[in-house]
Structure 1
């Protein structure tokens, strides 16, 4: 009997799209994994001031791939150790993340550009 390797990709397509969108160039600025992913907050209503969590981020948060830091404004999501392993596996697979487009993330994660 064989077991699946520890680096098996568990991110679903919507989660992968969320990661690609958040880590892509934004207004000529390259985001970094270390800075985290900014999350909007509710402006009014019963949840005013609370993080407005996108469904893919909520799913990753529930599975322990992300952690939420609300001590700063705006709130940010940071990859956990398990999340970084998933992100590295995703960035290493050229079918899931264009190596040229995400070279800045690959360099930050120590993935060789080949």
Structure 2
């Protein structure tokens, strides 16, 4: 698999995070919310899910701390290229979604 090809779980995450809610879709630049550990030895550290962690490892996302409770995982240039590649395939991102 090439670096810009998203897995089915990664495509599902993109569709679910950026789908239309309450009449409008989220903007890509707003990123994906990532939780932090609330207690224990990792308190305050990022707690990304497995799909988000995989995208972070591949360099498609980066975590940005805006000094608030939630972190945001935002797309890098490689991540935006992967989204463009995904949008070219009508089966991966149907136009009605």
TM-score (normalizing by structure 1): 0.73
> What whole-Å deviation, never above 9, does each CA across 1:20-39 have from its counterpart, x for those lacking one?
11111345442110111111
Structure 1's consecutive aligned runs of 4 or more residues displaced over 3 angstroms after TM superposition are: 26-29
The residue that corresponds to 2:75 in the other structure is 79
Which structure shows the bigger proportion of residues in strand conformation? 2
Q: Greater relative contact order (Cα 8 A, min sep 6): structure 1 or 2?
A: 2
Structure 1 vs Structure 2 CA RMSD: 1.9
TM-score (normalizing by structure 2): 0.84
Unaligned runs of 5+ in 2: none
Kindly name which structure, 1 or 2, has the bigger radius of gyration based on alpha carbons: 1
The residue that corresponds to 2:96 in the other structure is 100
1:57 and 2:44 matched:
no
Alignment of 1:1-114 (within 5 A): 9-73=4-68, 74-101=70-97
Rounded Cα–Cα distance in structure 1 between residues aligned with 2:79 and 2:52: 11
Unaligned runs of 5+ in 1: 1-6, 102-114
